[in-house]
Amino acid sequence: MAELTFREALRQALREEMRRDPNVYLVGIAIGSYRRGGVFGVTEGLLEEFGEERVIETPISEGAIIGSSIGAAMLGKRPVAEIMDAEFLVTCFHQLVYEASQMRFFTSGEAKVPLVVRTAFGATVNAMPIQQQSPESWFLQSPGLKVVMPSTPADAKGLLKAAIRDDNPVLFFEHKKLYDIRGPVPDGDFVIPLGRAEVKREGRDVTVIATAWMVHEVLEAARRLGSRGIELEVVDLRSILPIDKKTILESVKKTRKVVIAHEAKKTGGVGAEVSALIAEEAFEFLDAPIIRVAGPDLPMPFVPSSEDIVQAVESLLRA
């Protein structure tokens, strides 16, 4: 098992899948010769290995990138499109939420859209407020899509490979602050099924459910609280569409207390859906209010830290 960065793990997944299946191709803006392969360097070396027919750079027209990827996918191609920044998802929103997601339903299952859309999201320092979005919850209303948000290099690899092999459109959110983190990544054909959460840390006192970068803030909070004898159970959603209800409910039944943490704004974020699921299906197991730790309802980026999580847990235990 190699020790790779999140970025390298993604690249390994892309390379392996492109070698395995000639129908897989990459498409996007500046994914070839720009910097070390894309703005965030994920696609480095792939243009050299696979050529311009499989690493396709386009003009600035995200609608056409995704729309055309849908058409190509219907013909059996397996496009992996890159939308440079999650902010730009608004420019192909129609294609994602209506066309990619509904095609299979509207053709009674006949036409499939095996499309992956990778996009970088999340807040970093000194970036423009605007380019700091966590817009993942927009897609919760689009059955037919899958939405993945990995938090570790191993998950990044395993989930991206699964996404590429999936016959449905998958939106793949890569948190910008994760690209440089390192971790062990299984070699070769390592695939993690989509739609399954993972308990990243076991604990008996409070369940904290999180996504992407926030998983690391939560783990940090867990370490700090652990030293004081408070044991958090950390559930990494990994997919937010579908949401892994089973893992969530099992954990809630064990700890009876829940905090949900994400970077996106609080109102209308994924946390709302997770909270509502719990309030609907595990109410009798709950001992305390369900707390959301999330960005404030303001333009990005003001994002929660491990300290905010510690405070939320403390307030929950005091109540």
Partner 1 sequence: MKTEHLSLSDLTNIYRIMLLSRKFEEKIVELFHSGKTRCFTPHLGIGEEAVSVGAFYGLSKQDLISPHYRGATAAWLVRKLPATELMCIYLGKKSTGLANTMAVQWTTNMTLNVIGMASSILGGGIEIAVGAALGAKLGKTGQVVVNSFGDGTTNRGNFHEALNLAAVFRLPIVFVCQNNQWAMNMRVAKAVTVGKISKRAVAYGFPGITVDGNDVLAVHQTVQEAVQRARDGLGPTLVEAVTYRMSPHSERDPDQYRAEAERRKWRRKCPILRLEATLKAKGMPQEELLNIQQNAADEIAKAVDEALSRPDLTPEDRLQQWSAIYREIYI
Contact positions toward its own copies, by CB under 8 A?
87, 90-91, 93-94, 97-98, 102, 105-106, 129-130, 135, 137-141, 143-144, 241, 243, 264-265, 267-273, 275-276, 278-281, 283-284, 286, 288-292, 297-299
Q: Which helix (H) or strand (E) holds 165?
A: helix 153-165
Compute CA distances 13 → 16, 155, 299, whole Å: 5, 11, 33
- Residue 104 CB, shortest distance to partner 1, in Å, is 6
Q: Does 289 bind partner 1 (CB under 8 A)?
A: no
> What is the Cα–Cα distance from 110 to 117, expressed in whole angstroms?
22
159 binds, among ligand TPP, its own copies, partner 1, none (CB under 5 to 8 A by kind): none
Q: Which helix (H) or strand (E) holds 28?
A: strand 24-28
- Burial readout 41-66 (b: 16 or more C-beta within 10 A, e: otherwise): bbbbebbeebeeebbbbeeeebeebb
Q: Return the structure tokens found at 112.
A: 């499939």
**Nearer to ligand TPP by C-beta: 62 or 236?**
62
**Nearer to partner 1 by C-beta: 2 or 128?**
128
Compute CA distances 87 → 64, 121, 295, whole Å: 16, 8, 16
Q: Does 29 bind ligand TPP (CB under 6 A)?
A: yes
Site string for ligand TPP, 44-63 (x = CB under 6 A): ----------------x-x-
> What is the Cα–Cα distance from 262 to 294, expressed in whole angstroms?
5
Residue numbers at the binding site for partner 1 (CB under 8 A): 23, 25, 29-30, 32-35, 53, 56-61, 63-77, 85, 87-88, 90-91, 94-95, 98-99, 102-111, 126-131, 143-144, 146, 168, 195, 242, 296-299, 302
Residue numbers at the binding site for ligand TPP (CB under 6 A): 29, 60, 62, 84, 88, 91
